[in-house]
Structure 1
């Protein structure tokens, strides 16, 4: 599992790089210093050009995870400061780009995703090779 992020001024998503295998866990962090943030969202995009899928969101400390993600995905945190996304028991279906976005006002048109989404790749290892094979 490889995750890449870029750093921007209003939304910071980490780690910059992470590598995991099928069956492992992945942890993402999102923080910001924007005042009056009402919602913090987590999204996944499986491949470039495919639709964004909402994993869940935080409204202050209230957490809502979409039903299709509830079995292995955990959200923690506070939308006014930071949030954590944890994925347990990684499978190949978890491949894609993950990112957070904040909504500063109650107006739905003010959604802000100022960070490049991290890419998540799952790796399997062959016993006769030393290097992982990205799938």
Structure 2
């Protein structure tokens, strides 16, 4: 049985600040294939080129019609994982424009859709979806 983890990236743009044609968020790689028990070690990367945005947030959606769950965020170089996942994930970044997500000891419960977003402290507006990374999880010995 193979379970799939989708990782999407979205950009949170304020009303008149930032041009959606030039302000972008990038997420790599396009897909990852893993087995249960393995880890994703800084393989899911998110970066942006939006001036004055110093926060990169990470979210997870476990099912198609479920709400997004905040996993944590990077503020400049400082990681802030949520308490319920701080032993499972780690966040890393090199200033305000790049961050990576690591997930240890993958289990079938880690299946879901993962999103990243770029923001600033007081940003308001609607999110815009941009890119995704597909992560396949299998509990079999061979993929």
Give the match for residue 100 of structure 2.
Answer: 84
Q: TM-score, normalised by structure 1?
A: 0.80
Runs of 4+ in 1 over 3 A off after TM superposition: 1-9, 110-114, 116-121
User: Unaligned 5+ residue runs, structure 2?
Assistant: 11-22
Structure 1 residues 105-126: Cα deviation after superposition (integer angstroms, max 9, x where no partner): 4324246454244344311226
Q: Is the contact made by 2:8 and 2:113 (CA closer than 8 Å) also made in structure 1?
A: no
User: How many pairs does the alignment contain?
Assistant: 127
Change (3 A) 1:121 1:73: same
User: Unaligned 5+ residue runs, structure 1?
Assistant: none
Match of 2:51 among 26, 32, 35: 35
SS at match of 2:121: coil
Q: Which has the higher contact order (CA 8 A, sep 6+)?
A: 2
Change (3 A) 1:38 1:63: same
Larger strand proportion of the pair: 2
Q: TM-score, normalised by structure 2?
A: 0.76
